[in-house]
Amino acid sequence: MLLGIDVGGTHTDGVAVDTTAGAEVVASCKVPTRHDDLLFSVTGALEDLLGKVDRAKVRQLNLSTTLSTNAIVQGKTEDVGVIVSSGPGIDPHSFMICRDYHVIDGSIDHRGNEVRALSSRQLAEAVDACRGHGVRVFAAVSKFSTRNPRHENMIRRTVCQGREGGGCEHADFVTLGHRLGAALNFPRRVATAYYNCAVWRIYNEFATAVEKSLAAMGLGHVRVNMLKADGGTMPLPQSRSLPVQSIFSGPAASVMGIIALTDIFHDSIILDIGGTTTDIAVFADGAPLIEREGIHIGSHPTSVSALKVLSIGVGGDSAVTVSGGEVRVGPNRLGPPVCLGGERMALTDALNVTGGCAVGDVAASRRAVEELAGNSGLDAGDLARTAVDAAAKTIFQATRELVEEINSKPVYTIHELVEDKRVVPKKIYLMGGPAEAMKMPIFQRFQLSTEVPAHFGVANAIGAALTRTTWELELFADTQRHVLFIPSLSYRENVPSGYDLKDAKNDAVNQLIMHLDSMGVPLAAEDAQITHASSFNMVEGMDQVGRNIRVKCQVRPGVVATLGGR
Amino acid sequence: MLKANRKLGIIFFPAFDWAISPTHPERQERLLYTQDQLREEGIFDIEGVGEYKPDVAAEEDVERVHFCFPEVSAVATRSHLISAGGAMKAGDLVMTGERECAFAMVRPPGHHAMKVVHGSRGFCNINIEAVMIEHIREKYGHKRVAIVDTDCHHGDGTQDVYWHDPDTLFISIHQDGRTLYPGSGFPNELGGPNARGRTLNIPLPPNTSDEGFLMAIERVVLPILEDFKPDLVINSAGQDNHFTDPITNMNFSAQGYARLSEMIHPDIAVLEGGYSIQGALPYVNLGLCLSMAGVDYSHIREPNYNPEQIRQDKRTGEYIEELCRQLPALYFNPPPLKPGGDPRLGVISGDKYLRNRQIYYDTDGISETQQESVHLCKKCRGLRKVETRADSGPLCLGVEVPPDACPDCRARGYQLVEEAQLKGSNYRYVQFINRLDKEYLRFGF
């Protein structure tokens, strides 16, 4: 039995899926989300589910929460000491992300050669200044640390006063930039390391509380995984040092839900129509697209990878307004729809009048629509139809722009880069509350086959329950310098001159399998997927002096089972 | 968050699968470290800086510019067409207003490719700037264009393509041709009779450093740009003037390149040569991108940069100062073609301009024999005719009707092409470029 809980903006959805024969949803629930007490929402959903299934059979709980996101949005983060060394290039002060931001002289070049040693005097001063401000968490980031982590390691040693491992008196946590991923992007590494530190404490407190609650419910044996924004999960113990990865996992849960619920193999559009927003995701050849480099948190680009999802302000609760004869839906939400006790006509009211749905007090919806129509000199039926169509049109236009944007750049799916691919959507999948009601208006706009899958109301929780544990690593080898480096594992090894691409591919896959095994996740070699492999001959003068090898390897994101006997 | 003062589009096409030969300077590895540096700097995250995919140039885009013998597909690979397409994309970004400026960081390069193409010269097969410029002119209307070629090697190909075009100003600043390939680019190369002074060469002595380059830009290039009033300024942004370049002898720096770019303020930059792939390109390309986008570049510095060690000596400085005194006059008051002059630069014979040349394709080892004639017309820039032969291959004919052709020159062009086919003449291949009617034809196979 696998449990999935998705803590959303309005509701917390939960499901229990039995995977003994195929996959079958045996219980589901929807409880209101309490933003001031997410643990309460999680335990509330858990108790509901456990009332319907045998708790002894529960093996795993996958959790998607808004905890880190909310902490950042609400400014409930902790002060971080960010210490960077950057070398030549763009002025590193441009990336000052917080008060305790210190730039230390020192430079590593694009090959990973140390050009200039780190100034230990400046470093000691910076650490002292942070301590003076009572800072307990630190981010150490240097340019090209994913080629050579020497400076980041030295910053950590200084912060911890030379102590390795856990015994760090003066800091509770240090994030090393290269551990966050191998991508080359210094400003993103700075921002990601900062946020990883900023939510570290609040996340770890939550993780501990979840573990305690589970133990109290007699679920101490259950494996807990946290959802990431890229359509994978990470085991709770590992997530404690990478809390930033748990951010924006909600849309990923929905997308993975579609994968579990449908036979998707075309270029498709996924529309998750919620209360205030519609999330638009795009699939290429049946695989969801990812943000190429990572999401923005606040105004800062980061290296946190995520599925590509566009949120627009159209949902069931979106207010309907008329100005200058033009009917608009959203982007604001001014309370619930009138049929559910609100005061302002919303999209759901219009759908109630057109007969698309019958939510709450349909008569109240009719009165609200008639009132707004009267004020604007319109026929009530026309207004409702126009409003529904306006919502469909807004979604249509945003989708078209998103697809155009995707087509102007190289396309990256969760599986790999798809070269020279133009995404031409052939099918639409609708989910979320108003999905059924919006089906025909969306179909009329897009003129594409439109499907509302079963369980569309809790598809997100199903996605959460069935999402696999994923991991990605990048191996970098330079046979002239005789070095192999896997940044995310901080793994370094010497390699001989004859080391080649084939060796590198083998090593990358082996390291991935070993790492997942250490997390308690068995992985078959064929599930490790190489997404990038290149080897460049390095030439000096007229002689080949070595090879510059890059291999990227990942566990193919996906679901452990699909529903409907497939 | 950093923000660009000028919206910049970058087209990055490193052609990681294409090389002239495994250890050739023009090899797969060339832009690898540049890519690493740009990514690590997070340049594409700067607000106002966008990355774009290159287009692929069609055969017609090439035939609008070049006489390719025997045909486009025989002289240009897909990499060449994408490289040219990358430059075209840069042009489109700027012309449509999507970006204020654009940098096509593409390879293979193109500025040694001349009007006639039989193969590869100086690592170049098709002239990617010219393909871009003529694409712009055909799509967005006729433009006055200034090309400032800052590659260390004379841009002899671009010079040749625009030798007769009074609406294209070509200025090449390079290491003196007496000391470096291709051995041309002297001040007496000033363009054909209808475009005198529209070609200007600034040959700088070996070991010229930042001061010398920037002096030439300030005293020669800028006043001429000011006078010419181009609609578009294009920088053929070769980077082999760098003090670490393995195949040249100059002492220019990344800071110098960025400053140079800031001064000439190009609308479009197109990467040309530059073969110090670790020590120069990552820093120079970064400098150019930041400079074009109007972002502070003062923190860029090569690992082994020592300005005192590479500073030009006094004699070099004085020589350049003298050049700067003399060169502007060649644009402002160009001397007419004199009878009895160098036949390689052309002579006047009756109502025709004639030029006889031997052109060597160093990369492919081809020797071309070429005779060019331009009808001296008072109403337009005149019909261009080229007879050419590669080694002992068949004779080929190229005929070009210019965009401003008068009815007589146009008729003459059609007549030439007709005669070349009908009378069983000696021509094996004939290519006809009619810019006036946008008609591009080829015969003979």
Which two tokens mark A486?
């896997």
CA angle A96-A99-A104, nearest 5°? 60
Contact assignment for A185 to B278 by CB distance below 8 Å: no
Of B261 and A381, the one with more pLDDT: B261
Q: Establish if A292 touches chain B: CB-CB under 8 angstroms.
A: no
Residue A565 in any domain: the answer is no
pLDDT value, residue B190: 96
pLDDT at A293: 82
A392, A442 Cβ separation under 8 angstroms: yes
Number of Cβ atoms within 10 Å of the Cβ of A209: 14
Q: What is the pLDDT of residues B9-45, one digit of tens each?
A: 999 999 888 888 888 999 999 999 999 999 999 999 9
CATH number at residue A134: 3.40.50
The answer to the question of residue A560 being in a domain is: no
Q: What is the pLDDT of residue A133?
A: 94
Helix (H) or strand (E) holding A492: strand A491-494
A406, A323: one domain: yes
Residue A87 and residue A143 in contact, taking contact as beta carbons nearer than 8 Å: yes
Q: Tell me whether residue A464 is in a domain.
A: no
Low-confidence ranges of chain A (pLDDT < 50): 566
How many domains does chain A divide into?
A: 4
Considering chain B, what is the average pLDDT of its residues? 95
DSSP SS3 for B23: coil
Residue A94: the pLDDT is 94
Q: Tell me, yes or no, whether A443 and A541 share the same domain.
A: no
Structural domain including A503 reads 472-555
Return the closest-CA partner of residue A311 out of A355, A377, A372, A255.
Answer: A255
Query: Pick from A197, A210, A209: which is nearest to A243 by CA?
Result: A197
| A381 in the same domain as A449 | yes
What is the per-residue pLDDT across A90-123, written as a single tens digit (0 to 9) for each?
999 999 999 999 999 999 999 999 999 999 999 9
- Which residues of chain A are within 8 Å of residue B289 when distances are taken between CB atoms? none
Distance CA B327, CA B344 (A): 21
Chosen domain end from A188, A221, A247: A247
Q: Please list the active-site residues of B.
A: 112
Beta strand pairing call for A11-18 and B268-271: unpaired
Q: From the CA of B29, how many Å to the nearest CA of chain A? A: 6
Answer yes or no: is pLDDT of B106 > 60. Answer: yes
- ipTM score here? 0.92
Q: For tokens 């390291």, name the residue.
A: A511
Residues A327 and A433 in one domain: yes
- CA B282 – CA A107 distance, rounded (Å): 15
- Locate CATH 3.40.800.20 in chain B: 3-332
> Rounded to an integer, what distance in angstroms lies between the CA atom of residue A416 and that of residue A155?
35
Residues A192 and A209 in one domain: no
Same-domain check for residues A355 and A491: no
d(CA A552, CA A249): 23
Does B42 lie at the interface with A, CB-CB under 8 angstroms?
Answer: yes
Quote the DSSP letter at residue B177.
T
* Minimum-distance CB partner of B32 among A92, A107, A536: A536
User: Residue A534 falls within a domain, yes or no?
Assistant: yes
Considering only CB atoms, which chain A residues are within 8 Å of B300? 88-89
Burial (CB < 10 A; 0-12, 13-18, 19+), residue B96, is exposed
Place of tokens 């990973």: A112
> Does any CB of chain A come closer than 8 Å to the CB of residue B1?
yes
Determine contact: A298 vs chain B, CB below 8 A.
no
pLDDT for A163 equals 54
pLDDT value, residue A30: 86
Cα-based angle A417, A253, A529 (whole degrees, multiple of 5):
35
In angstroms, the CA B169 to CA B16 distance is 33
- Domain-embedded: residue A462: no
d(CA A553, CA A566) in angstroms, rounded, equals 28
DSSP state of B339: T
Name the β-bridge partners of B103. B10, B269
**What pLDDT is recorded for position A153?**
96
- Domain assignment present for residue A25? The answer is yes
Compute the residue count for chain A.
566
Q: What is the pLDDT of residue A70?
A: 81
**Two tokens at B319?**
């020589």
Q: Do A300 and B1 lie within an 8 Å CB cutoff? A: yes
- Asked whether residue A564 is assigned to any structural domain, the reply reads no
- A328 and A387 part of one domain: yes
Phi, psi of A313 (to 5 degrees): -80, 60
In whole angstroms, what is the distance from residue B126 CA to residue B110 CA?
A: 5
pLDDT value at residue A120: 93
CB contact, 8 Å: B207 with chain A? no
Residue A259 falls within a domain, yes or no? Answer: no
Does A94 touch chain B if contact means CB atoms closer than 8 Å?
yes
Q: Which residues of chain A does B39 touch, with a Cβ-Cβ cutoff of 8 Å?
A: 183-185
Are residues A234 and A306 located together in one domain of the fold?
Answer: no
CATH of the domain at A52: 3.30.420.40
Q: Are residues A276 and A422 in the same domain?
A: yes
- Using an 8 Å Cβ cutoff, are B175 and B212 in contact? no
Q: How far is A135 from chain B (nearest CA, A)?
A: 24
Residues from chain A contacting residue B52 (CB–CB below 8 Å): 408-409
Model confidence band, residue B445 (pLDDT cutoffs 50, 70, 90): low
CATH superfamily of B3-332: Histone deacetylase domain (3.40.800.20)
Asked if A90's CB is within 8 angstroms of B45's CB, the reply is: no
Residue B228 in tokens: 């010419």
Q: What are the residues whose beta carbons fall under 8 Å from the beta carbon of A162, sequence distance 6 or more?
A: none
Residue that terminates a domain, selected from A454, A486, A516? A454
Check CB contact under 8 Å for A90 and B290.
yes
Tell me the H-state helices in A183-235.
186-198, 200-216
Q: What is the pLDDT of residues B293-326, one digit of tens each?
A: 999 999 999 999 999 999 999 999 999 999 999 9
Q: Which residues of A touch B2 (CB under 8 A)?
A: 90, 94
Residue A293 shares a structural domain with residue A433: yes
pLDDT for residue B277 is more than 60: yes
Q: Are residues A107 and A58 in the same domain?
A: no
Question: What is the Cα–Cα distance from A558 to B366, expressed in whole angstroms?
Answer: 56
Domain co-membership, A40 together with A148: no
